[in-house]
Every structure is written in structure tokens, then in C-alpha cells.
Amino acid sequence: MHIDSYFSISNSNFDEAEYVIFGIPYDATQSFRSGSRFAPNAIREASWNLESYSLYFDFDLSYAKIFDAGNINTDCSFEEIIHRTSDFLTRKEFFPVALGGEHTVSYACVKDLRDFCYLTFDAHLDLRNEFDGNKFNHACTVRRVYEKYETGEVERIVQIGVRSGTSEEREFARRRGIEIYYSWDILEGGIDWILKRLEPYDRIYISLDMDVFDPAFAPGVSAPEPFGLHPIHFLRLIDEISDRIVGFDVVEVIPDGEKITQMLAAKIVGEVISAVHSSI
């Protein structure tokens, strides 16, 4: 057995697991740089460099029941991936930790979810209605989730760390009640002031597009964007809302040669589970 074929903190089986890690290695629409289909396994490999004890949360992950279920088979259309993902997510109750893949896979993860705030960390607005003639493109992820907001299935959409998009996307967000927090405001004033805006929501799903971080911290992403967040901003925020997080995905990692980006993603997976479990 290769030790890097599953996540280092996987210590349970599917039936007993409270936290299930799974990969969706799909990157068919990635335009600038592709390769995020290799991310789930690269993040797993990097995870073997992690301690199971989180100093930040004073929590040892061996006390949480965690299972790495492997990857969803993505050798099919995106519509079929949505179907396979929702099949998997409805098999039993668990806290899902999805490893992308491009950002599009986040839509598959929340498709059947109701009554939650969709909180994205992303450099980009991802609000285009379609891109390259495709509605299920990584640049359209939040727009697809917005359709669930229109029907009342999503309570609110909040985007943190934004610093790239079109004026049409910005205007769309402004008119349709999508909340945007720009990276420069967070870099100057920290992230704690945003907590107040999240107070109304009891159930928060987090989608982490790794390009929200500055390329200095996460060089291995599909669309690197300067002026990004520090990973500590993310950690601070999840610490404060940890009792309300209902699911998590980390997307858009393109494994880099120095293993910096996949290491950060693996570390964050451990910290998210530590945050959620130590808040129970």
C-alpha cells in the first residue's frame, strides 16, 4: 500500500465516519492553466507531512472519525458528475470535505443542500452566466449557485477576498444582493469585521478557491491573481464560525513542484476538521 493513496488523517470507515474526505478530479473547463484533476491525490500525498495535532485549535484529529473515500469517477459529462456526487453525499449523514478539481465541482457539492449561506473565498467573482459557451464553467460557479438563491434554497451568497471580475459581474452582484468583501479591505483591516455580517446564518457552507490566497502563498492555482489574502485570514474566520460550518470544499489547486499549494490545502483540511470538531 502506498501511504500517499489516502489522506493521512483517515482513521475510520464510511459507516462510522463523521467527516468524509473525497476527491472530484475534474478540470475540463480550466482555461489559463489546467491540472487540478491531479490535486486530490497531490493533497493526500502532502497530508503525510501533517501532524494530527492542531496547535491552533488544541485538538488532535485522532479524536474525530475521518474517512477518505477516494475519488468520484469523473470520466463522464459534468451533469453525470453532479449526479454521482449527490448520490454519494446522500448515502448517509456526514460532514463533507471535497477536494477539487476546478471550482465547478463546488456546485455539485451543494446542489442538494438547502437553507444555508454559501460562503466562497475566491479572488474571482465567478458570476458569468456562461463562458466558452458552457454554463458549467469554472468562471460561472457562483452564478449557478445564485440560481439556488433565486429559488430560496440558498439564504445568502457571500464572497470573500475578491479582486478580479468584470464590471458586469460586479453590477450583477450589487443588484442581486450578493455580498462581496474585497481583498484590499481585509489586508488593511483584518477579517474580524466580516463576522458581524455572517451572524444571521446558522448553516454556512465554505467553498475555498485556493486563488483567494496571494500567489506567494499558493502559486499552484489555475488563475493566480496578485494582492491576495494571507492564509491566517482564513484560519481566523473559520475559528469564529466553526460551530456553523456544514460542509467544505477546496478547489482550483494545480499541484506545484515545490508542493507549497497542495501542502497549504492539506493543512487547511486538517484545520477545518479541527475547528468544526472542537466546536461541538
d(CA 82, CA 5): 24
37-45, 70-78, 82-90, 103-111 -> range binding Mn ion (CB under 5 A) = 103-111
C-alpha cell at 89: 453525499
- Give CA separation, 139 vs 127, 133, 251, in Å: 7, 11, 13
- Footprint on residues 183-222 left by Mn ion (CB under 5 A): 209, 211
* Cβ proximity to Mn ion, 31 vs 49, nearer residue: 31
Edge-to-edge, what's the strand order for the sheet holding 245-251? 66-71, 19-24, 95-100, 245-251, 204-209, 116-121, 154-162, 179-182
Nearer to Mn ion, 123 or 276 (CB): 123
DSSP state of 64: S
Nearest-approach distance from CB 57 to Mn ion, in angstroms: 27
* Minimum CB distance to Mn ion, residue 225 (Å): 7
Number of residues that bind Mn ion (CB under 5 A): 7
Q: Which is nearer to Mn ion, 122 or 169 (CB)?
A: 122
Cα separation values, 180 from 27, 68, 175, 195, 214, Å = 26, 33, 12, 13, 18
Told to check if 27 binds Mn ion by CB under 5 A, we report no
CB of 9 to Mn ion, least distance (A): 26
d(C-alpha 124, C-alpha 262), whole Å: 20
Report the nearest approach of Mn ion to the CB of residue 61 (Å): 27
Whichever of 23 and 277 has its CB closer to Mn ion, that residue is 23
For Mn ion, give the closer residue by CB, 73 or 166: 166
**Least distance (Å) from Mn ion to the CB of residue 264?**
15
Applying CB under 5 A, among 47, 68, 94, 103 the residue interacting with Mn ion is: 103
Q: Which residues pair with 258 in a beta bridge?
A: none
Grid coordinates in use for 233?
A: 485570514
Which residue is associated with the grid cell 491531479? 38
**Nearest residue to 247 via CA among 278, 276, 280:** 276
Task: Pick the closer one to Mn ion by CB: 106 or 278.
Answer: 106
CA distance 164 to 200: 27
Minimal distance, residue 104 CB to Mn ion, in Å: 9
State which of positions 111-130 bind Mn ion (CB under 5 A): 122-124, 126
Task: State the binding string over 52-71 for Mn ion (x if CB under 5 A, else -).
Answer: --------------------
**In this complex, which beta carbon is closest to Mn ion, that of residue 209 or of residue 249?**
209
Nearer to Mn ion (CB atom), residue 61 or residue 253: 253
Say which residue the cell 463562458 belongs to. 131
Nearest to 162 by CA among 135, 133, 177, 142: 142
Find the shortest distance in angstroms from Cβ 210 to Mn ion: 8
Residues that bind Mn ion in the complex, under the rule CB under 5 A: 103, 122-124, 126, 209, 211
